[in-house]
Amino acid sequence: MQSYGDETRPLAALSLPSRIVIGVAACAVAVIVAIHLAMMFLHVAPSNTLSKQQGSLISEYVYPEYEQNWKLFAPNPLQQNIAVQVRAQLRTEDGTARTTGWTDLTARDGRAILHNPLPSHTQQNQLRRGWELFVNSHTAQNRPLGLRGEMAETYIRRIVMLRMSEEWTRAGGRIDRIQVRSQTTPVSPPPWSTEKISNRPVYRVLPWWQVTAADLPEGAKIQ
């Protein structure tokens, strides 16, 4: 019977070029992993000389994909429900402007996750983390704090247009502008608690944003 021992031969039995390629690939993976771990450590570690000197570089690497959020384990966990809602101003063929009603994107994500044993990362985190990035990179007057704030605005606009452009277009008219707001509602205390809070929602309404071709999904055009 013919033996197929070549399939299980040790690394030492490989040719020199093959061993060089494997070695270089292993070294590259090790360097990438080391850099990633170092960046994440400097991001979550207490402020130090290196993190102060390289703060901009660390932030550019971490945000928004690798941002760490420890609020679940903080002494005071989040006690609010935050919903992101959007609307649009449409321009009909005769030039008339029409404003749509508010659409709750957070509620749509919630319905998509409900009873879904394997919800996607997009359904769970895209909108939520995008809004957190916006809030953390803007003043209370909704002014962006540098390039990170401008990036957050672009990110939110693209999320909105990715999810709503087709629906709004079907409603009739060209999308001129969009507006985003958040609705924050306190989580009711447990029945045994004596704490009294107001259940009235609080809104943070952003200014109207003009829609550009860069905000549209791939292949879509401004009519």
Q: Within this chain, do residues 128 and 56 fall inside the same structural domain, yes or no?
A: no
Q: Within this chain, do residues 173 and 104 fall inside the same structural domain, yes or no?
A: yes
Q: Within this chain, do residues 32 and 127 fall inside the same structural domain, yes or no?
A: no
37-54 tens-digit pLDDT: 988 888 878 878 888 888
- Residue 176 parent element (H or E): strand 174-186
Q: Within this chain, do residues 53 and 124 fall inside the same structural domain, yes or no?
A: no
69, part of any domain: no
Q: Within this chain, do residues 204 and 139 fall inside the same structural domain, yes or no?
A: yes
223, part of any domain: no
Give the chain's domain count: 2
Q: Within this chain, do residues 23 and 92 fall inside the same structural domain, yes or no?
A: no
Q: Within this chain, do residues 138 and 48 fall inside the same structural domain, yes or no?
A: no
Q: Within this chain, do residues 157 and 106 fall inside the same structural domain, yes or no?
A: yes
In this structure, are residues 87 and 179 in contact, taking their beta carbons and an 8 Å threshold? yes
Q: What's at 44, amino acid-wise? A: V
Q: Within this chain, do residues 37 and 147 fall inside the same structural domain, yes or no?
A: no
Q: Within this chain, do residues 88 and 55 fall inside the same structural domain, yes or no?
A: no
Q: Within this chain, do residues 54 and 147 fall inside the same structural domain, yes or no?
A: no
Strands 103-104 and 174-186: unpaired
Would you give the DSSP letter of residue 167? Answer: H
Predicted structure pTM score: 0.65
Range of the domain at 54: 11-62
Give the C-alpha separation, 36 to 59, whole Å.
Answer: 12
221, part of any domain: no
Strands 97-99 and 80-91: antiparallel
Percent of the chain's residues with pLDDT above 70: 86
Task: Give every residue of the chain whose pLDDT is below 70, as ranges.
Answer: 1-12, 64-65, 67-78, 218-223
